[in-house]
A and B are shown apart, each in its own frame.
Chain A
Amino acid sequence: MYELSGVTKTYRKGSSRVTAVAGIDLTIPDGQLVAIQGPTGGGKSTLLQLLGALERPDSGAVRLAGDDLAKASDGRLGRVRAETIGFVFQGFNLIPTLTARENVETALVPLGVPTQERRSRAEAALAQVGLADRAEHHPSELSGGQQQRVAIARALVKEPSVLLADEPTGNLDEGTRDEIIGLLEGLWRERGLTVVIVTHDSAVAARAERRLTLKDGRVSG
């Protein structure tokens, strides 16, 4: 469960400071599918980074399973990311030189999983997202939807308790979008994950259990 209290995050932009997140108090229970919407620059991605232990807040607390990420060391944050949180990005963020299977395996490297087990788990994850036959393909040989499926397989192969997705369908056409959101929804139901999706797309948000709107760094809904 996420518990955020008085979370503030500001960035320096030139000579001025921009408040991306302004004193948010928020609780996300385990197993909830949450959609965060809002205008560009409203602080959605910043909130996702705070939830994902990619950033520390300037003030306030971000507790995940009782662990305050705001006060955790870099090493601890790294372990949280490696073990507990899976990420899906708008741009897929696959490593172009590695095959689909190898990209999935990269998520198991920090866990010290042995090579053979890493390989079999990656293949199983790819099979789960319907890409068993594309395991040895490089990202450039895959469509956008297939690349996002690989990214989802990479996020889920370590069996995290949280899945964070930043505009996961932003680079996809409508048909592929439905395919991907269906996949995420299915995995959420199947695994009981806590899923937080940042999206501009109302069709995607409509599939969520809970919809939040972030505007000027503040949460409503």
Chain B
Amino acid sequence: MFATYLGRELGKRRRQTAIIAIGLALAVALVMIVSAIAAGVRDAQTKALEAVYGVGTDITVTQAAAAPTDGDGGPRMQFDFGADAGTSADGSREIATTRLTPAIGSTAFDADAIRTAAGVDGVAAAAGGLTLQNLSFSGQLPDIQQRPEGGEQGFAPGQGPGFDVGGGADGSGGSSFGIESFTVGGVDVAQPTVGPLASTTVTDGRALEASDAGAEVAVVDADYATTADLAVGDTIEVGGTPLTIVGIAASTSTSGAGADAYIPLDTAQALAGLDDQVTTVYVQASSASLIDAIATGLKAALPDATVNTQAELASTVSGSLASASSLITSLGTWLSAIVLAAAFITAILFTVSGVTRRTREFGTLKAIGWRNSRIVGQVAGESLVTGLIGAVAGVVLGIVGIVVVNAISPTIAVGGQAAVGQQGQGGFPGGGGGGFPGGGGFPGGGSFAAASSSDVVLSASITPTVVLVAVGLALLGAVLAGVFGGWRAASLRPAAALRTVE
């Protein structure tokens, strides 16, 4: 009788059943789609962060560059040539020189910081790194001695193999020179899992090993190797010293963070004349939960240092993804809540209204001996079945919506600075007497830093949990409606119910 009665009543009030079910279905679908998109954004965020993080590195320690002194004009690249430098030929001189210095924005500091960092509670490993810029200048210069006084000659740096500068005392001379620049990462070969090498994969040759300490060997970034036409077995000149390339490594980071060449830390220190100096200390925490505590400990132990945790990095790296996630979470949650509330209220009002219209019917049933609980059960059962119809329709609608979202494949630009340390600082500032005048400058950053931007395709995923939660919400709405409707039915006195005129 219960099922027959229930089925007939729902069949009779198809429109009411449909309205309640559609309301609940829309709410279920919306909750599913919003949850799936939010999960997709979180996945994208995680992927983006995985690519940017140095695997195994939880915290980086760097040191801010000292403020420039008056007249210094900040860090700048300067080549000094003696009066007799180069070889003369026809009144001009062939010169070639290389500078290996801390990358702009990086500051070398005492490697004691590694030991200090390693001594902080909770630190599992600490490794030093030296981020260097190798700048080579080679070419032909006019006979400077024949130039008139006061004619400062300026030119912007370029990346081409060379460019001519008209000039010379009588205007007949000329010069041609080239500037080559690449970044060099001095890494602790004893701890390959901590630091920038951890986010690389060797594609040819081998990785740097502990036995490479002090050796004149290098692993070259795959992209740079292609650009500079380098292969395993070739040499790469770093600070004027040719190093044998033992491996080619591809960065697993999409951020572009990394160096063009990796060499043993002690070799880098020797070549740059920065004995026992580093520009970055990479710290691995023994537990993720200790990261904040370790960062605090590091700040206390190294008061002059800049300490960056992954969380801080994440907030920077996530950029638009974080914004998108936040937007979807807040907007989606509110939208879902509003639709859910509307669906619940609709279900409750329609159910109560339906019960009110059936006052005489329930009064009759009470008169012939039906208990309140049976009548409430009947109303709740009808409501629950309506909720189930809404839930099933909602799940189907939600899946369709998610499929549509995935078919559209919206992309989110992962903006922000994938930089650890002095983000976006550096670059050659230009200006300053005698250097490269003009406002140019190499874009640069701190230690293994790079501005990054990549698109992440948003993939909304359906999880059983989301489906269950959505179905649960629909049933909750139905139960709420059933409870209100049932309460209304149960509160009817049979005599009063019988007096009601239909």
Which A residues form the contact surface with B (CB < 8 A)?
45, 49, 52, 54-55, 74-75, 78-79, 81-83, 86-87, 89, 91, 93, 95-98, 102, 105-107, 109-111, 115, 118, 154-155
20 of the cross-chain contacts (CB-CB < 8 Å) are: A49-B495, A49-B498, A54-B366, A74-B372, A78-B370, A79-B369, A81-B367, A82-B368, A82-B370, A83-B369, A87-B367, A89-B498, A93-B361, A95-B365, A98-B4, A102-B4, A106-B370, A107-B369, A110-B368, A110-B370
Q: Are A109 and B1 in contact (CB under 8 A)?
A: yes
In the bound complex, CA of A109 to CA of B368 (Å) = 9
B386: min CB distance to chain A, Å: 15
A-B contact count (CB 8 A): 78
Q: Are A89 and B364 in contact (CB under 8 A)?
A: yes
B134: min CB distance to chain A, Å: 88
Identify which of A54, A110, A155 contacts B374 (C-beta below 8 A).
A110
Contacts of B1 in A (CB 8 A): 102, 105-106, 109, 115, 118
Contacts of A81 in B (CB 8 A): 366-369, 494
Identify which of B8, B367, B499 contacts A97 (C-beta below 8 A).
B8
Identify which of A91, A102, A115 contacts B502 (C-beta below 8 A).
A91
Q: Does B42 contact A (CB under 8 A)?
A: no
A220: min CB distance to chain B, Å: 24
In the bound complex, CA of A115 to CA of B1 (Å) = 8
Q: Are A98 and B371 in contact (CB under 8 A)?
A: no
Secondary structure at the A interface, as helix, strand, loop or mixed, is helix
Q: Does B11 contact A (CB under 8 A)?
A: yes
Interface size on B, residues (CB 8 A): 26
- Known A-B contacts A97-B9, A97-B11, A102-B1; A87 and B361 likewise in contact (beta carbons under 8 Å): no
- A108, closest chain B residue (CB): B1
A19: min CB distance to chain B, Å: 16
In the bound complex, CA of A115 to CA of B8 (Å) = 18
- B6, closest chain A residue (CB): A97
Q: Other than the known A83-B369, A97-B11, what 6 A-B pairs have Cβ atoms closer than 8 Å?
A: A81-B367, A91-B502, A93-B367, A96-B12, A97-B12, A106-B370
In the bound complex, CA of A191 to CA of B283 (Å) = 97
Of all A-B residue pairs in the complex, the 10 with the closest CB atoms, nearest first, are A82-B369, A97-B8, A110-B369, A93-B364, A54-B495, A81-B369, A49-B495, A55-B495, A54-B494, A97-B12
Q: Does B99 contact A (CB under 8 A)?
A: no
In the bound complex, CA of A98 to CA of B360 (Å) = 15
- Known A-B contacts A52-B367, A87-B368; A93 and B4 likewise in contact (beta carbons under 8 Å): no
